[in-house]
Homo-oligomer: A and B are copies of this chain.
């Protein structure tokens, strides 16, 4: 079939997260899906956030933030955090908040997994800031683990597609990474 150039496209699919920060002394959460691991050891992440948002003020102020992965049950509250700005709406009461090592990276008790991050540096692009953080703690509960590792079937996170702006669940187990390709190794 013929290839067509649609000019621009997003990542398919994107993980749905809630970025937590203390902004002007206030606990705040924003929805984010533009994030990735950036380094293996020490563990580092990269999160792209629109410059106009409220959260960047707090991340820069306290040089810390959190990343929480909400479960399917939290979809409405998660989406709400992307609809209203902390500038105008106090989102601190939406979730139960807890802290790890840092006192300036509020995390969400309801999230099956939260990463606590220290800001390493910020890269500035035309619309977004790319925050690079080092993971200093990863908080979960025994009930979300299998063999000591987070189990996506128990976490039930969401993924996002744009520009159709839809949330999706994670589906079935498809295969083993660093495994499925071994059958082609005889080539």
User: With a CB–CB cut-off of 8 A, which chain B residues contact A164?
Assistant: 146-147, 149, 151
User: With a CB–CB cut-off of 8 A, which chain B residues contact A12?
Assistant: 15, 69, 113, 150, 152, 155, 157
User: Are A177 and B79 neighbours in the complex by a CB distance under 8 Å?
Assistant: yes
Known contacts A42-B126, A138-B7, A157-B13: does B165 contact A72 (CB below 8 Å)? no
Within 8 A of B (CB), among A135-187: 135, 137-143, 145-152, 155, 157-185
Minimal beta-carbon separation of A161 from chain B (angstroms): 5
User: With a CB–CB cut-off of 8 A, which chain B residues contact A42?
Assistant: 126
User: Are B8 and A15 neighbours in the complex by a CB distance under 8 Å?
Assistant: no
Within 8 A of B (CB), among A8-60: 8-15, 17, 34-48, 50
Within 8 A of B (CB), among A63-103: 69, 72, 75-84, 98, 100
Minimal beta-carbon separation of A108 from chain B (angstroms): 11
Most buried by B among A35, A98, A127, A174: A174
Known contacts A36-B46, A46-B46, A175-B79: does B185 contact A84 (CB below 8 Å)? yes
User: With a CB–CB cut-off of 8 A, which chain B residues contact A77?
Assistant: 181, 184
User: Are B165 and A176 neighbours in the complex by a CB distance under 8 Å?
Assistant: yes
For A127, the closest partner residue in chain B by CB is B40
Contact for A150 among B7, B9, B132, B145, CB less than 8 A:
B9
Which 9 A-B residue pairings sit nearest by Cβ, starting from the closest?
Answer: A80-B181, A79-B181, A171-B171, A169-B171, A9-B138, A39-B125, A36-B36, A79-B180, A165-B177
Binding site for B on A (CB under 8 A): 1-15, 17, 34-48, 50, 69, 72, 75-84, 98, 100, 109, 113, 115, 123, 125-128, 130, 132, 135, 137-143, 145-152, 155, 157-185
